[in-house]
């Protein structure tokens, strides 16, 4: 078991999940001048990679990689504080136009850049980012690499080059097996991400962080999808109260006609 296992974990900086997003006055985007943090599904991905490293018999390197504006480095430092060994930042000027296909191409380009030092055995990504809700990047990356994909993982087992994943599907669970190299995307149930401790946050500042540009990776990141407008969702008019269970059942039967 001397072959090192190299795990790449792409992470995205997104508006914090607890922030109530608001559409900007120009209706072109949401107001981004709010608290950001690591996409929750990516935290799960980092946690899984670090756990695999902690229990793996072979040496394992966990590489966190983020594509986005300069501020993405904060997100990478968080991943390093959680236990990633090194970080790669692919810097773009305006990350609001960076789309899943472009990110998948950047990840592939970096993975193939320098085969001796960058070739990953495994990609672990979040199943979706909570900002664009696309749920595409992992699948696209696997397609571009022609690697197997095991999405929406709630359990991951690695034994040498064998990978067994329990997936969350509609109505239950499904188990698939495959061989590394592979792409895994995480579902909520996979694990409970750890908090970075203060000493680890300090240590993370000294871990290596490589900066690259899409040009250096030879990837065209121009958006394929144009956002014409962004609007508030329709507001609900609630607030009607009923007096008792009888009135509630009556309203549901005769007014809303849903019973």
Partner 1 sequence: MFFTTTSRIALQARNTLAQRFYATGAGANALLFVEHKDGAITGATLNALTAAKKLGGSVTALVAGDAPEGIVKEVAKLSGISKVLSAKDNAYANALPENIAPLLVAAQAQFGFTHLFTGHTATGKNIFPRAAALMDVAAISDIVGVEGEDTFVRPIYAGNAIATVKSNDKVKVVTVRGTAFEAASAGDDNAAEEAAPNADKPNLTQWMGEDIQKSDRPDLGSAKRVISGGRGMKNGENFKLLYDLADKMGAAVGASRAAVDAGFVDNSLQVGQTGKIVAPELYVAVGISGAIQHLAGMKDSKTIVAINKDADAPIFQVADYGLVDDLFKAVPEMTEKIGK
Site for partner 1 in 41-80 (CB under 8 A): 41
- Which lies closer to partner 1 via its Cβ, residue 42 or residue 85? 42
In this chain, which stretch among 51-59, 116-124, 193-201, 251-259 interacts with partner 1, using CB under 8 A? 251-259
Please tell me the distance from the alpha carbon of residue 87 to that of residue 80, in angstroms, as a whole number.
7
- Closest separation in Å from C-beta 19 to partner 1: 9
Among residues 56, 73, 143, 200, which is the contact residue for partner 1, using CB under 8 A?
A: 143
Quote the Cα angle for 199-205-208, to 5°.
130
- Which residue's CB is nearer to partner 1, number 206 or number 236? 236
51: which 2 tokens? 């756990």
Q: Closer to partner 1 at the Cβ: 26 or 198? A: 26
**Phi/psi at 190 (5° precision):** -60, -45
Kindly state whether residue 246 participates in binding partner 1, applying the rule CB under 8 A: yes
Q: Rounded to whole angstroms, how far apart are CA atoms 145 and 104? A: 9
Which helix or strand (DSSP H or E) is residue 74 part of?
helix 72-82
- The pattern of x and - marking residues 6 through 45 that bind partner 1 according to CB under 8 A reads ---------x-xx-xx-x--xxx-x---------xx----
**Footprint (CB under 8 A) of partner 1, residues 201-240:** 224-233, 236, 238-240
- Alpha-carbon span 218 to 215, nearest angstrom: 5
CA distances from 137 to 10, 129, 133, 172, 180 (A): 10, 9, 11, 23, 18
Pick between residue 30 and residue 209 the one whose CB is nearest to partner 1. 30
**65 with 177: CB under 8 angstroms?**
no
Single residue of 42, 47, 48, 168 touching partner 1 by CB under 8 A: 168
CB closer to partner 1, 83 vs 126: 126
Backbone angles phi, psi at 192, to 5 degrees: -110, 110
Task: Answer yes or no: are the C-beta atoms of 28 and 22 closer than 8 Å.
Answer: no
Binding of residue 134 to partner 1 (CB under 8 A): yes
CB 72 within 8 A of CB 91: yes
Residues 172-191 within binding reach of partner 1 (CB under 8 A): 172-178, 188-189
Q: Residue 32 and residue 36: Cα distance in Å, rounded?
A: 8
Cβ closer to partner 1: 202 or 248? 248
Which residue number, 34 or 202, has a Cβ lying nearer to partner 1? 34
Sole binder of partner 1 in the list 91, 109, 112, 130 (CB under 8 A): 130
Size of the site for partner 1 (CB under 8 A): 79
89-118: which residues touch partner 1 (CB under 8 A)? 99-101, 104
Out of 54, 114, 116, 170, the residue judged to bind partner 1 by CB under 8 A: 170
- Cis previous bond, 181, omega within 30: yes
Contact 164/157 with Cβ under 8 angstroms?
A: yes
């Amino acid at each position: 078991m001397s072959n090192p296992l190299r795990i790449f974990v792409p992470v995205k900086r997104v508006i914090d999940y607890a922030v109530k997003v608001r559409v900007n006055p120009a209706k072109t985007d949401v107001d981004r001048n709010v608290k950001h943090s690591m996409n929750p599904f990516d935290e799960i991905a980092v946690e899984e990679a670090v756990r695999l490293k902690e229990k793996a018999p072979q040496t394992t390197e966990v590489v966190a990689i983020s594509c986005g504006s300069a501020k993405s480095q904060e997100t990478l430092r968080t991943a390093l504080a959680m236990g990633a060994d090194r970080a790669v930042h692919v810097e773009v000027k305006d990350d609001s136009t960076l789309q899943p296909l472009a990110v998948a191409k950047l990840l592939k380009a970096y993975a193939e850049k320098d085969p001796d030092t960058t070739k990953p055995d495994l990609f672990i990504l979040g199943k979706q980012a909570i900002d664009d809700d696309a749920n595409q990047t992992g699948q696209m990356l696997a397609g571009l690499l022609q690697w197997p994909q095991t999405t929406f993982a709630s359990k991951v087992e690695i034994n040498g080059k064998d990978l067994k994943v329990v997936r969350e599907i509609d109505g239950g669970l499904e188990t698939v097996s495959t061989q590394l190299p592979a792409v895994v995307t995480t579902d909520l149930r996979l694990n409970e991400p750890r908090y970075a401790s203060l000493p680890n946050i300090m240590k993370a500042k000294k871990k290596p962080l490589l900066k690259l540009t899409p040009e250096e990776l030879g990837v065209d990141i121009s958006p394929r999808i144009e956002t014409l407008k962004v609007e508030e969702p329709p507001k609900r008019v609630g607030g009607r109260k009923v007096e008792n269970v009888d009135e509630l059942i009556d309203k549901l039967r005769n007014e809303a006609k849903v019973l």
